[in-house]
Structure 1
Amino acid sequence: MRYFTIQPPAELKPFVRFYWVLEHELGPDEPSYTYRSVADGCTELVFHYQSSFNELTDKSGQNAGPSGIQFQTTQYRRFITTQSFGIFGAYIYPFAVPYFFNVASSETSNQAFDFDTFLNQAGRELEEQIMLAPDNLKRAETLSTFLIARLRQNTFKDERIITAIRHVIHGKHRLPVIQLADTYSLSARQFDRKFKQYAGFSPKTYMRLVRLQEALKQYNSPKTLTQIALECGYYDQSHFIHDVKAFTGYHPGYYFSGKAEGTEFREI
């Protein structure tokens, strides 16, 4: 399996965390590959340029899992393919959604759309350009051109709340919501409303998602699960177990064991 990231151009760095590529050649003893996406506070634009995945669901078996946009989500999903694959994606901050698509993040949470449905002709043309690109550097260049054009067209801006969301994502110290609101000169009610508009979820829920992602970054760490839980801000082991199970579908002991679906790229 091959996984790597590509940095966006300077104009997009405040909005795009990175581009990523995941490629894998199925061997003769590997009839299929199952990938599990976990809950995440960021949005992803995903392009399957080699083969495609079907989504596995409890109710109806398999549904088509085309290229598209997976917005910030509290849910995990499972996908399967029987072919070697190549995927190009963009990992973007939730507050980039209003900038790029002129819609509040709160209106897109826990939703996923193919590019045609969400962006109409512009989405169809973008997907075709990405598919026809000769390599992933050209795909990154093509998507950057598209996103920069949309960034310059839209005027959805609230710098204070964007700075607050960045603080939650990247800050070393977790502040209570009341203290965050005070830091950015907003009442608790204003802060909650504006935060949800740009992050997609309430501050409390979003902090849970950020805390989860911080824990999952410790995938190859020699630390114990108890150490990981405490360092990532979980009050106790039971809260850690509850969130990992809710957001990944696995008990943390199994997720961090190396046996869970869709964790192979974390080992690279």
Structure 2
Amino acid sequence: MHYNIIPPPNELKDIVSYFWVCTLDLSKQANQTYWVVANSLTEITFAFQDNKKHSELLFTAVQGQTNEPNHFSVKGYYHLFGVSLNSFALPLLFNLPASELNKEFISLNTLLGKEGDMLTEKIALASNTRERINILSNYFIKLLKNKRNDDKIITEAIKLIKKCGGNKKINELSSQFCLSEKQFKRRFKEFSGFTPKLYNRIVRFESVIKSNTNWSTLTEAAHLNGYFDQAHLNHDFKTFTGFSPKDFYKLSEQF
């Protein structure tokens, strides 16, 4: 499996976390299962038959941020192109509370209607990844010119949790932004999809996955990322992926 991350243009760096491309081993059977693990981001995915020029677009998927693992039966694919959006992009771009997409796995058409159809057609006709990135970037930039539901305080709080790797005390955050804990939690959920405590926990777990080249044992990973001990990290692996750490990494090797 080949997986690449592409940074967004400067105009989108606050709402787009990254673009990504994933190509599976063409010598193996096409993947007919789309696996989902806990994710603080919202992902828009386009699945293709293979990675050749003008490959057939098989399906689109909008995966809302989630705290639960899941899997879905899909048409067999070998190549994926996608964009991972910060959750506060949903109210900002689409005037949609982030919480409305929690745990959802829907088509782009279901989310955007005719606009989704037009966007899907453009992506299907594009020749390569760079063209697809340009199509989505131009679409998001156009939407940004007509910003809808924005909350700069909560957006900054979300960014701070990300920057701290999910190791930020919630009462300190609400105090820092001069909000009562009740106000903070209500506004936070609209723009992140989660309570601050759960979002913090998901981001901390994501930090473990992203830092896997910086540690050699799970005990080291736990300590580097703010866990009390490995047992707590093992518990989060099971909760957020559905697998033990060993089985989770074994699964990724199959593709």
TM-score (norm 1): 0.85
Q: 2: CA distance between counterparts of 1:81 and 1:7?
A: 28
Q: Identify if the C-alpha distance between structure 1 residues 6 and 233 changes in structure 2 by more than 3 Å, giving closer, same or farther.
A: same
1:43 match: 42
Q: Could you give the per-residue CA deviations for residues 4-51 of structure 1, whole angstroms, max 9, x where no partner exists?
A: 122222111110011111112421xx2343553211011101011336
2:96 match: 103
1:2 match: 2
Letter matched to residue 248 of structure 1: T
Aligned-residue CA RMSD in angstroms? 2.2
Task: Give yes or no for the alignment of 1:181 onto 2:179.
Answer: no
Cα deviation, residue 91, structure 1:
0.8
Q: Identify if the C-alpha distance between structure 1 residues 76 and 20 changes in structure 2 by more than 3 Å, giving closer, same or farther.
A: same
Structure 1: unaligned runs, 5 residues or longer: 52-64
1:26–1:84 CA contact under 8 A, matched in 2: no
1:130 match: 123
Q: Could you give the per-residue CA deviations for residues 184-206 of structure 1, whole angstroms, max 9, x where no partner exists?
A: 11111111111111000000110
Q: 2: CA distance between counterparts of 1:196 and 1:41?
A: 12
Cα deviation, residue 222, structure 1:
4.4
Q: Could you give the per-residue CA deviations for residues 157-195 of structure 1, whole angstroms, max 9, x where no partner exists?
A: 111110000000112682211011001111111111111
1:13 match: 13
1:225–1:253 CA contact under 8 A, matched in 2: no
Q: 2: CA distance between counterparts of 1:228 and 1:79?
A: 30
Letter matched to residue 41 of structure 1: S
2:62 match: 69
Aligned length: 247
Q: 1: CA distance between counterparts of 2:216 and 2:190?
A: 36
Structure 2: unaligned runs, 5 residues or longer: 51-57
| Aligned-residue identity in percent | 34
Q: Identify if the C-alpha distance between structure 1 residues 94 and 264 changes in structure 2 by more than 3 Å, giving closer, same or farther.
A: farther
1:140 match: 133
2:29 match: 31
